[in-house]
Amino acid sequence: MVGAKEANLVERLESQAEHGGGGVWEYLCLVRKLKLRRSDKVLKYGLQILKDSKARSKLGGEEWTLYEQVAIAAMDCHCFSVAKDCVKSLQKKFPESLRVGRLEGMLLEATGSWEAAEKAYDRLLEDNPLDQVLLKRKASLAKSQGNTSASVEILNKYLEIFMADYDAWRELAELYVSQQMYKQAAFCYEELILCQPTVPLHHLAYAEVLYTMGGLENLQTAKKYYASTIDLTGGKNTRALFGICMCTVAINQVTKGRNKEEKDGSELQSLAAGVLVKEYKQKAPKNLAPLLTTTLKNMKLI
């Protein structure tokens, strides 16, 4: 996650580069370091340097890193001729490189040559069976072709080995949700929360899966995780505030208002509803705040 200081620096360097004030290389290095997806800008500024032999010569060994960065950005922007030229330059310089081999496979993917891309990855995996990037590219390739079950299978095998890969857990959770396999998705979010307990989006996603699954126990747990999302975001997550309200209504419907725990926790939903009304009065179109107030009253939340 990019901090405010780093985000400001990126914006400043981007503005500087856009207006001819220099800082192009610094911008490209920072985008790469922070793993940002600014493909159009990377393509534009990267090509400026690659086409200028004097500027390119000053990079030393970093020239080839730039070729790789521009190749990926060009694929994102569907500038496949540029991507092919970059990959060819890298192939010439590093003919036996695994890293360049990955790029070749990615280019085949980007151009829709699914079968050729899969063969390229399989060939590389024969010599590098535990390469993380290749395994994740295989999962991505299956997903791109609409083969969700294959993507799920690959990610499950991958996570048996690389259990600390948070991005893979999140991707697997989203795949399960897309297949309405909520119990499996919940497990993935539990793993994410254990690994990254202070990331509010994990708490929110877990709460929403539990709410979708329904049942008194799941609803009560969902409410707790909506509450933790609110706590981690300083009370500013509108989705979690709505989640508290919806869980309260659902629990009351299941228990018909006889649940002592919910009666004791009535202050929480009242606070959530109050914050929602305040937010809508301040930020939403004028006609929405009265509508929200009426809805919350009908739900007996205020």
Sole residue written with tokens 């997903």:
143
66 domain-assigned? yes
Last residue of a domain, one of 46, 77, 108: 77
pTM summary value: 0.84
- The 10 Å Cβ neighbour count of residue 50 is 19
Judge whether residue 276 has pLDDT over 90.
no
One-letter identity of residue 276? L
Cα–Cα distance, 74 to 78 (Å, whole number): 6
Whole-number pLDDT of residue 270: 78
Distance CA 158, CA 138 (A): 10
Quick check: is 264 in a domain?
A: yes
Owner of token pair 């159009």: 40
Contacts of residue 166, defined as CB under 8 A and 6 or more positions apart, other chains included, come to 192, 195, 196
2 pLDDT tier (thresholds 50, 70, 90): low
Q: What is the pLDDT of residue 256?
A: 75
Residue 231 located in a structural domain: yes
Domain count of the fold of the chain: 2
Which H helix or E strand runs over 200?
helix 200-213
Say if 96 falls within a structural domain. no
Of 77, 107, 140, the one marking the end of a domain is: 77
The mean of the pLDDT values for the chain is 91
- Measured in Å, how far apart are the chain's first and last C-alpha atoms? 36
Q: Which residues are CB-contacts of 211 (< 8 A; sequence separation ≥ 6)? A: 218, 219, 222, 243, 246, 247, 250
Q: What is the pLDDT of residues 206-262, one digit of tens each?
A: 999 999 999 999 999 999 999 999 999 998 899 999 999 899 889 988 887 565 555
Domain presence at residue 121: no
Candidates 80, 12, 16; CA nearest to 43 is: 80
Average pLDDT on 156-176 reads 96
Residue that finishes a domain, picked among 50, 77, 104: 77
269 lies in some domain: yes
Sorted by sequence, the CB contacts under 8 Å of residue 49 that are 6+ apart come out as 24, 25, 28, 55, 56, 59, 66
With cut-offs at 50, 70 and 90, classify the pLDDT of residue 289.
confident
Position 140 in a domain: no
> Which residue range(s) make up the domain with 254?
217-302
Tallying the residues shown for the chain, one arrives at: 302
Q: What's the pLDDT band for 152 if we cut at 50, 70, 90? A: very high
pLDDT score of 188: 98
- Is 112 part of a structural domain of the chain? no
Q: Is 58 helix (H, G, I), strand (E, B) or coil?
A: coil
